Amino acid sequence: MGMVGALETLCGQTYGAGEFRKLGNYTCCAIITLMLVCVPISMVWIFMDRILLVFGQDPLICEAARIYCIYLIPALFGFAVLQSLVRYLQTQRHVGAALAIGISYWINVIGLGLYAYYSSACEKTRIVFSTNALLSIREFFHLAIPSGLMFW
Number of domains observed in the structure of the chain: 1
3-class secondary-structure state, position 123:
helix
75: which DSSP letter?
Answer: H
Per residue in 17-52, pLDDT (tens digit) is 999 999 999 999 999 999 999 999 999 999 999 999
Structural domain for 15, as ranges? 5-151
Per residue in 93-146, pLDDT (tens digit) is 888 878 888 898 999 999 999 999 999 999 999 888 889 889 999 998 899 999
Q: pTM, whole model, 2 decimals?
A: 0.73
Contacts 24+ apart (CB under 8 A), 113-117: none
Residue 36's pLDDT is what? 96
129: which DSSP letter?
Answer: -
pLDDT band at 148 (very low <50, low <70, confident <90, very high): confident
Q: What is the mean pLDDT of residues 61-68?
A: 96
Residue 77's pLDDT is what? 96
C-alpha of 56 from chain center: 27
